[in-house]
Amino acid sequence: MDYSKWDHIEVSDDEDDTHPNIDTASLFRWRHEARLNRDREWREEKEKFEKDKKEHIQALHKAKREYEEGVKNNASNLKQLEENLKELEVKDKEWQEKEKEMNKKERLRPLNVDTISHEGKSRTVINKDALKEKPKPEEDDDEIHEEAAERLKRFNEKYDKEIKKFGLFSRPLDSKTYLEEHPFLVCDETANHLVLWCLDLAMEEKFSLLDHVSHQCIVMQFMLELAKSLKCDPRACIRLFFQKFIDPEPEYQRMFNDELTAFRERIRNRARVKLAEAMQELEEEERQKRLGPGGLDPQEVMNELPKELQECFLSRDVDMLKRTLEAMDPKDASMYLKKCIDSGLWVENANAAEGESEGQIEELKTDDEEETGEGDKREAKASPTKPNDVAAATTSSA
């Protein structure tokens, strides 16, 4: 029996002894992540090999079929088919050698806890008591969130100057010295404050300063993660963290840079979303300010009007408006006039007779016309307004 495969096993990292100054938990985690990355790269390499090999076999079988059919039918391109087949047969021998190399490479790969064994069988046991509805905590989630937000607000107001000073450091030694003098800054509130500052900088498009502050933000987050992994007070990890950070291992440096790049991208994306939301709110506010007495937007109504009516409002020519309405279909004229009144494009005189849109059109058609059942004469003293003057349009009495 061949026991050689047991000669190279990546045993559990938990059994390794490390130097007292080295963060053991982080070292084990980095080793495990590096092993997972190697396994992933191997799977990708193997999948690519299998895919290319499959394509080669399909091409070889196709070439054989075409050559056999060409011989049978005495095809004119028989020589070309034969050359193609010979070329693929040569490549087939190369693929066989590649396959041997891949098998050897797989055989020599060290086993680890993730590959040394495979699941034979499994079963699931559900704890029915755990599915029962548990009593809700006394404190409501909203109250907890409000309390945390209030605590963050007080912390930011108290230490805003100190946090921003830390965010502007560029040398790790300066950051280390400053945090040792101000250890209370090593907390989640500082990290959250730096995140919000980064978001403000991104919205203000101060990207150079954003890249600088975001670096300090990730430094603080990594320090907090180290404290969490060691289950100790974050203030006690300042010296240990900077020992690792000032002279980092390549894997640790790569992890830090990847997280920093991803964080900057998230901040920029979030800033774009917030700017879009702010623009949308501003446009909605402007639209609400423009709304006329009937709740219509004068700009939208102006765009819906026929070109000849638009020219009347742009020139503010009442006589032209009267003539244009007289020439239109009464129903269309009534509809357009009602929209103009509801949007504020047309401001009626306070002394004008109130009535349906048809009656208002008749008033526009003639300056002096007696109403049914009344002997007095009324004059339509309405004036069209420009779309951007709608907010300031008011009703005046004669």
pLDDT band at 127 (very low <50, low <70, confident <90, very high): low
Considering the entire predicted model, what is its pTM? 0.43
- Which of these ranges, 25-34, 42-51, 154-163, 194-203, has the smallest mean pLDDT? 25-34
3-state helix, strand, coil in the chain (%, to 5): 70, 5, 25
Which is more confident, 97 or 336?
97
Q: Across-strand partners of 384? A: 346
What rounded mean pLDDT belongs to the chain?
75
Kindly state the helix (H) or strand (E) to which residue 369 belongs, with its residue range.
Answer: strand 369-370
Q: Three-class SS of residue 378?
A: strand
Amino acid, res. 66: E
pLDDT band at 112 (very low <50, low <70, confident <90, very high): low
Backbone angles phi, psi at 370, to 5 degrees: -75, 135
Closest CA to 176 of 223, 235, 220, 239: 239
What residue has token string 């009347």? 312
* The pLDDT value given to residue 218: 93
Backbone angles phi, psi at 376, to 5 degrees: -80, 155
pLDDT at 282 over 50: yes
Which is more confident, 389 or 43?
43
Kindly state the helix (H) or strand (E) to which residue 166 belongs, with its residue range.
Answer: helix 141-167
* The pLDDT value given to residue 115: 62
- How many angstroms from the chain centroid is the CA of residue 303? 34
Query: What would the CATH number be for the domain defined by 151-287?
Result: 1.20.58.610
Q: What angle do CA 294, 298, 303 make, to 5 degrees?
A: 130
Kindly state the helix (H) or strand (E) to which residue 84 belongs, with its residue range.
Answer: helix 78-108
**pLDDT (mean) for 303-307:** 83
